[in-house]
Amino acid sequence: MKERIKKSGIDYVLVGDYYIPDLKLPEEKRSIGKYGRMHREYLKENHPVLFNDLVLSCQLWTYLADINGQAQDRLKIIISQMQKAESVTEEMKENNQWEWIQRMNSIFNRAEEIVLSELINL
């Protein structure tokens, strides 16, 4: 028996008595992060066909890394817009740190809720 065969554009390697596909995953250096992991769980539970399609086409990790990057970028934009709208400034941070912390926590929580509903779909 041949050790390697090619059929339908896929390389197969002989392992024992069986030929198995010689699949290689694409190199992805980026982390999927918090939002990528959350979206992965959402896909598993609510869209298993899409999840399986991404896994089988070796695009899941890249897709989740993209989602994570988009979510982080959107979060930064929303936070800066809310800071301007609510007059949360560096001057406030210097003069009244506790109020600044409370307002920033409130802004972050609201901004994250927006990002989760828009991109992560939880």
Domain membership of residue 6 (yes or no) is: no
At 11-63, the pLDDT tens digits run 888 888 888 888 776 677 889 999 999 999 999 999 999 999 998 888 899 99
pLDDT, position 74: 96
Q: Are 53 and 68 in contact (CB under 8 A)?
A: no
Domain membership of residue 15 (yes or no) is: no
Alpha-carbon distance of 94 to 108, in angstroms, equals: 19
pLDDT, position 67: 94
Domain residues for 52? 31-120
What pTM was estimated for this model as a whole? 0.73
Domain membership of residue 101 (yes or no) is: yes
Domain membership of residue 55 (yes or no) is: yes
Alpha-carbon distance of 100 to 3, in angstroms, equals: 67
